[in-house]
A and B are shown apart, each in its own frame.
Chain A
């Protein structure tokens, strides 16, 4: 049931392949294991276990987001003195040294994007679970936003990698990655997997479907 009158696939008895996009007859009732006639991938009306998988990845990411922010991501020694920095600490350092633009970029990539992702994916999972018909076009847009910006959060992992590979001057100065970055990288990967497992068409399905 779309708001604009365009017929939906199940109403016409057709199905689209998740992988190559070809449209073919929906024969899943007679042949539950039918494969795509063009690319051979197995056909599904909806991604299998979409909501459960997506929720599982999201919850795992949410749990790991706590150590990702509490543990330091980097340890730097400079002329004898050493200090550890967390993600938020790195942003505050940039801000205090006057690099407001960079502080903002890292804040958006590392704090804002993951937080917004948790909020949006949590809301999408909850409303789709209940088969809500509230704001369907807008919810679909939010899903696309999450898909589009999600991977930029990997920025901090790459920055830590580049910096720790450059600053290797033994006694003078050294930078090492610390365990916080592993948790943070895992958060980014898990939230991406959560978004990929979520089948946006479930936003448009009513409860009984």
Chain B
């Protein structure tokens, strides 16, 4: 089947455009529906890889240390995002613990691991083993990653409890703030560029399909 790497189709209205090289901070958008087709990126593969490693460190700190601690008449209590999700895992509300743990901890951690995996190989323009699978999974995970909502949730919880108890932000909250910024940089829609920046290896659909199948040109 013939492919047209120089064309781009607007995902919101199906209009077809020819790709153009963009200058710094330029955005190509659809003239019919104003949807963003693609944007220039300030990050090359190596920089994105470095950002992912940074994000992995921020993720570990954000989840190893409490995000909030409270004090009531000398009694201490503190929580991480994982413990917060697990606090839901009792009684008749238990089912909600699964999506809570997913959006706050599991999905971001999978995203970081998958990105590090594909980017490690992409640095030399290679496709990682399982590249297609990893790219598809990243696409599925993206809408369910909610570090920024967690950040706002922590702030709201702090204010909510400040009237009743002594509340202190924990060390995890600063790492969560950093992670929030890093995730928007590394895990955005422009991850799709990696398709064009890497060469298919043996065993990928692109390599497996015959060069000229019986289809109209």
Contact = CB atoms under 8 A, between A and B. Distances in A.
B17 A6 contact: yes
Given A23-B9, A166-B79, A38 B206 contact: yes
A56 interface: no
Contacts, number: 245
Contacts of A97: 163
Contacts of B216: 13, 25, 27
B147 to A, nearest CB: 11
B150 interface: yes
Interface in A6-36: 6-10, 12-16, 18-25, 27, 30-31, 34-36
A67 B195 CA distance: 45
A23 B150 contact: no
Interface in B157-207: 157, 159-161, 163-165, 192, 195, 200, 204-206
Interface stretch (B52-60, B82-90, B110-118): B82-90
Interface residues of A, number: 80
Interface residues of B, number: 77
Interface string A20-59: 1111110100110011111111000000000000000000
A24 B4 contact: yes
A88 interface: no
Nearest to B159: A102
Contact of B3 (A2, A24, A159): A24
Interface stretch (B20-28, B29-37, B40-48): B29-37
22 contacts: A3-B32, A4-B31, A9-B16, A20-B192, A24-B4, A36-B205, A38-B3, A105-B152, A136-B32, A137-B32, A137-B33, A140-B12, A147-B143, A158-B84, A158-B153, A160-B88, A165-B83, A165-B84, A177-B91, A181-B88, A186-B96, A204-B13
